[in-house]
Structure 1
Amino acid sequence: MRDTATTGRLLALAAAAALGGTTPFARLAYDAGTTPKTLLAVRFIVAILVFGVALRLLGRPLWPTRSDVPAFIAAGLALSGLTIGYLLSIAYIPVGLAALLLYTFPLLVAAATPFIDGVRLTGAQWLAFLLAFVGLAGALGPDLGALDPRGVALALMAACSMATLLFLVRHLTRRHDPLTVLFNGNLMGLLFMSLLLVTEGPVISDTTFGLSMLTVAALLYLAGIGLSFLAVKAGGPAETAMFLNLEPVMAILLAMLLLGERLTALQATGVFLVVLAIYLAGRKQRAL
């Protein structure tokens, strides 16, 4: 069990690093001419192709059993709500505020875990979740003066979708191959994104640099979402949610390297608090 927990944490850390890397590379792709909706559609397409081919090569089923179709649909809706809600929220509120609201999902997971998984979090773990949220507030530096209700609602929808997705992934990966869950979830995400692209056609950069940044952002998403699903299967939703707090921290650090952004004292303090929170989260959970 200790080996499984360690594996889950390492997978979650790798997932956070990969997903955090998508933000600066996505920004570079946007600056080169690719629209956000196009990037999301490309990410879904790449994921569907890769996971579909992997399932065929491994001789595993593409589709869920009939009894699990509702859960698969719910997981697809949650994945769509996460990506689309977060994407649209930044049209109304600053990115930092949107990211902060999105990362309320570890607190939602912590609150729901005793009722869904029958696991009671220790006082140290509750402190870790709250500390991580405070740290993210400092690291992201949200502009609280720009509170457009539409953006706040969309970001919170993304947070609820992420929390729901983690529990659904835990349930589905007990009965199905994680690749099957990933394939179907991204397929449904592409269907929703296609509806959004009806009113705004896809726009892709025509430069080599822009295409390269789009490719890197898509591949990092592919690695990040795959690793996060495996982390949930190995370590559980609460553990994975805690370690995924490192995603925006990784984004900030990479933005310093790739985009020339500077880390303020407040952001540095926030990063420290997140790392401290993850250390505290390593405490044992005790079963009810």
Structure 2
Amino acid sequence: MAPSGTESDTEVEAARYRLTGFGFAVLASLGLGLAIAVARIAFEGGTDGQSIAMVRAWFVVLLVGGWCLASDRSLRVEWWVWLNCLGLGTLLAHMFFGNIGAVKYIPVGVAALLFFIYPPLVSVFTAILDRRWPGFLRFSGFLIAFGGLGVMLGVEFDDLDPLGLFFGLSAGVACAINVIWIGRVMGGRDPLVVMFHMALVAACVLTVVVLAIVGFTAPTTTAGWLGALGVVLLQGCSIPLYYAAIPRIGVETSSILNNLQPVAAIGGAFLLYGEALTSAQAIGGGMVIGGILLMQLSSKLRRMTASAD
């Protein structure tokens, strides 16, 4: 018996919905990666990471808030949710800054890969909180990823600015804590509404830091303005796209596609500046990405086993 037109239409609509999710995730990952590469143009044009992060945070607030209102989402949340958003937003503020701020001091590719240490950290922190052994594949992936970090940084550690290393690594740690916090406390909440409140807190924190402590630094060249605008648009638009992809294709697929982010950053740095990773950095970076993929495979196999049972 042939399927009815209604059933066929439903299947086509579901396929289109999922395909849109793939598109959102790929665009988000490419945008976030390219923004790291473009940030150097902004810095060379006279501005700094704090100033760009502040403007970008307010742009995300307006963009996500507008998206929520246009899709009839209520921005109201319970008081305890907003209290959690205070902590989550503070972490997000450092993620906004550290992820691009590191580029001022260290190569783009190294900065991108340092931030991407957050997936292994999520696995480690989760295992500690749950008091359970992470499993052979997951633990192997963790060792490979952190071994890659050691290879990437160990050979040429003296040539890398400690401040850039701190910004990159601490942003990755902040991201890992943020991801676990959201997963354990914000379950069932609309991710875009949560993102709006986190971004609002991050924007307020960065505004206080910039205006009251370090001062706002505007670009002094046309290239600097274009670079700053590029970072704001690329990262500001990519974050909502990533959150929009999750309900369409799931967290696991979104996370796998997010591995394109450091690849895009490294490729962008090569095209824009002719900057290439050294052999040690390339091997270490490959180990980091390989370790992350192995941990994602472990998660998928565990879920398949649980479903079979």
TM-score over 0.5 for the pair? yes
- Is the contact between residue 36 and residue 99 of structure 2 (CA under 8 Å) also seen in structure 1? no
Q: Report the alpha carbon displacement of residue 179 of structure 1 after superposing the two structures with TM.
A: 1.7
Give the number of equivalent residue pairs: 284
User: Residues 55 and 232 of structure 2 are in contact (CA less than 8 Å); yes or no, is this contact kept in structure 1?
Assistant: yes
**Bigger Cα Rg:** 2
Q: TM-score, normalised by structure 2?
A: 0.72
Amino acid in structure 2 at the alignment position of 1:286: R
Asked whether the equivalents of residues 97 and 142 of structure 1 are also in contact (C-alpha less than 8 Å), the reply is: no
Q: 2:93 aligns with which of 64, 68, 80?
A: 80
Q: 1:145 Cα deviation (Å)?
A: 2.9
Percent identity between matched residues is 29
In structure 1, C-alpha distance between the alignment counterparts of 2:253 and 2:50, rounded to whole Å: 31
| Greater alpha carbon shift after TM alignment, 70-79 vs 22-31 | 70-79
Unaligned runs of 5+ in 2: 1-14
Corresponding position of 1:167: 180
2:43 and 2:205 mapped to 1: Cα distance? 21
Per the TM alignment, residue 257 of structure 1 is displaced from its structure 2 partner at its CA by 0.6
The offset of 1:177, in angstroms, is 2.1
- The farther-off stretch of 207-216 and 42-51 is 207-216
Which of 198, 205, 212 is residue 185 of structure 1 equivalent to? 198
Task: State the partner residue of 2:263.
Answer: 249
Asked if 2 retains the 8 angstrom alpha-carbon contact of 1:172 and 1:181, the reply is: no
Aligned counterpart in structure 2 of residue 134 of structure 1, from 147, 153, 156: 147
CA distance in 1, matches of 2:160, 2:273: 26
Give the counterpart letter for 2:217 in structure 1: V
Q: Give the equivalent residue in structure 1 for 2:123.
A: 110
Decide whether the 8 Å contact of 1:97 with 1:141 is kept in 2: no
The reply on whether 1:259 has 2:240 as its aligned counterpart is no
Give the structure with the higher percent helix: 2
Tell me the distance in 2 between the aligned counterparts of 1:8 and 1:134.
Answer: 33
Alignment partner, residue 123 of structure 1: 136
1:282 matched to 2:268? The reply is no
C-alpha distance in 1 between matches for 2:244 and 2:136: 27
When the two chains are superposed, the root-mean-square deviation of aligned CA atoms in Å is 4.0
Contact 1:100 1:142 (C-alpha < 8 Å) held by counterparts:
no
Distance 1:11 1:118, change over 3 A: farther
Q: Distance in 2 between matches of 1:25 and 1:129?
A: 30
Residue in structure 2 matched with residue 220 of structure 1 by the alignment: 234
- Give 3-state SS (helix, strand or coil) of 1:282's partner: helix
Alpha-carbon deviation of 1:265? Answer: 2.6
Q: 2:40 aligned with 1:24, yes or no?
A: no
Displacement of 1:40: 0.7
- Look up the SS of the partner of 1:199 in the other structure: helix
